[in-house]
């Protein structure tokens, strides 16, 4: 017998999943069989509906972690002569820029501070100065700090100047309401193990059909060719190119049903906001302040200033909390002296209250 989870994950992916999602993995599937392909098709249409995509859009699933899907979009939509403007205020914006530079594609990087959002005026100025920009890429929920970037004015600019707009909505899709058509997003990227609350193994892209159709033959990567992957899934409905993560896919269908059961994205968003507010309030009582101002904050993950006491050590906090049954986000990606606690997944305000009690108990600084 494998023991049940020894601790709750307070990390923004992989995250704590429900027992029923994990149990859904407990059988094998044949990838060529109708039974399995119909699961894939159900998932594709459910994701489309969650984004309000309609006929103009199509969903493609892609093996690997979320970054593989980001990379698949970039390989597939960028041509050698193109130039992309990437807006970055954290590690995931930088990751997108890194992929582009490895591809040898021209890059204009708007490199912002972690507590700063891109100003639409600045972006418009860059678009005017660089008429050769063809694409704009940015992150919705920047998981580095928990910043929820307001992508709407940037997407509107992309539309106005006729640029392809790519949104890494990895850690927000399914947990923060959005409408892919208004303002228009050309490629929206997310993955199985974030707000839909599935287990890791694949990512997905919701793309405007017209734009994806025009990408035929662009990709210099075979396995990350999103166009080819799409055509395979369309021509033999629900069939993946290459081995698909069958158990993960089946668990994801269960996760989608549970999202519906909870009351959809709006209800899930409310729970996440409640988790966040419960956390911020409890931490404040312990003398620990949030890093971002409330209007910039996503309900996904919260960064806190480290206590200034010389006795404080993140490592010690991490290990003591783990012994109490909570795993917080290890490591430090932010430039500031902060630490982060995730609150998405099968996590409820009651869990956050238990966490606060645990921190109070182990407080050593
Ligand atoms: C999780 C995440 C990714 C993808 O990370 P992987 O480790 O490759 O799954 C990309 N962007 C953001 C904003 C994320 O939160």
**Backbone phi and psi for residue 335, each to the nearest 5 degrees, phi listed first:** -75, -35
Residue ranges making up the domain that contains 215? 19-260
- CATH number at 313 reads 3.90.1150.10
Torsion of CA 344, 349, 355, 359, to 10 degrees: 110
Classified as helix, coil or strand, 280 is helix
Both 305 and 272 in one domain: the answer is yes
* Residues 222 and 284 both lie in one domain: no
Inter-axis angle of helices 66-77 and 226-235, nearest 10: 100
What is the number of structural domains in the chain? 2
238 and 291 housed in the same domain: no
Helix (H) and strand (E) counts for the chain? 12, 13
Nearest CA to ligand 1 atom 12: 170
Give the Å distance between the CA of 129 and the centre of ligand 1: 31
Q: Are residues 231 and 311 in the same domain?
A: no
69 lines ligand 1 (CB under 6 A): no
Q: Decide which of 203, 226, 260 is a domain's last residue.
A: 260
118, 129 in Cβ contact below 8 A? no
Model pTM? 0.97
For residue 247, how far is the Cα from the chain centroid?
A: 21
- In three-state secondary structure terms, 340 is strand
Both 204 and 277 in one domain: the answer is no
pLDDT along the chain (365 residues), means of 10: 82 94 96 96 98 98 98 98 98 98 98 96 98 98 95 98 98 98 98 98 98 98 98 98 97 98 98 98 97 95 94 95 93 79 97 98 96
Alpha-carbon distance of 352 to 329, in angstroms, equals 14
Tokens 């820029």 belong to 97
| Beta carbon of 143 within 6 Å of any ligand 1 atom | yes
Annotated ligand binding at 340? The verdict is: yes
Is 1 within a domain?
A: no
The Cα 363–Cα 365 span in angstroms is 6
Q: Is the CB of 297 under 6 A from ligand 1?
A: no
In this structure, what CATH number is given to the domain that contains residue 33?
Answer: 3.40.640.10
Please tell me the predicted confidence (pLDDT) of residue 4. 77
Residues with Cβ < 8 Å from 358, sequence gap 6 or more? 321, 324, 325, 326
Q: Can you tell me the distance from the alpha carbon of 313 to that of 239, in angstroms, rounded to the nearest whole number? A: 49
Any domain includes 3: no
207, 236, 260: which is the final residue of a domain? 260
pLDDT at 43: 98
pLDDT score at 336:
80
């Amino acid at each position: 017998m494998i023991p049940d989870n020894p601790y709750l994950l307070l990390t923004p992916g992989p995250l704590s999943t429900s027992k029923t999602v994990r149990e859904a993995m407990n059988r094998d599937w044949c990838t060529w069989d109708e039974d399995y392909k119909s699961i894939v098709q159900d998932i594709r249409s459910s994701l489309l509906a969650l984004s309000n995509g309609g006929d103009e859009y199509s969903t493609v699933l892609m093996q690997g972690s979320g970054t593989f899907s980001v990379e698949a979009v970039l390989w597939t939509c960028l041509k050698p002569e193109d130039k992309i403007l990437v807006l970055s205020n954290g590690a995931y914006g930088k990751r997108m820029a890194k992929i582009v530079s490895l591809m040898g594609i021209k890059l204009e990087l708007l490199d912002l501070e972690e507590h700063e959002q891109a100003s639409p005026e600045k972006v418009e100025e860059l678009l005017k100065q660089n008429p050769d920009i063809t694409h704009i890429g940015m992150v919705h929920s920047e998981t580095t700090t928990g910043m929820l970037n307001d992508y709407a004015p940037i997407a509107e600019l992309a539309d106005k100047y006729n640029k392809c707009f790519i949104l890494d909505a990895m850690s927000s899709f399914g947990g923060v309401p959005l409408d892919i058509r208004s303002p228009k997003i050309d490629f929206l990227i997310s993955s199985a193990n974030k707000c839909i609350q599935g287990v890791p193994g694949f990512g997905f892209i919701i793309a405007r059909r017209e734009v994806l159709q025009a990408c035929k033959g662009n990709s210099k990567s075979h396995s990350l060719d999103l166009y080819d992957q799409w055509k395979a899934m369309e021509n033999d409905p629900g069939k993946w190119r290459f081995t698909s993560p069958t158990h993960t896919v089946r668990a994801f269908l269960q996760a989608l049903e549970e999202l519906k059961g909870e009351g959809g994205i709006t209800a899930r968003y409310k729970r996440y906001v409640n988790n966040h507010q419960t956390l911020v309030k409890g931490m404040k009582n312990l003398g620990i302040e949030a890093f971002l101002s409330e209007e910039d904050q996503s309900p996904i993950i919260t960064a806190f200033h480290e206590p200034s006491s010389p006795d404080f050590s993140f490592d010690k906090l991490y290990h003591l909390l783990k012994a109490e049954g909570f795993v917080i986000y290890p490591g430090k990606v932010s430039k500031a002296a902060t630490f982060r606690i995730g609150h998405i997944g099968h996590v409820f305000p009651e869990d956050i209250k238990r966490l606060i009690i645990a921190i109070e108990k182990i407080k050593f600084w």
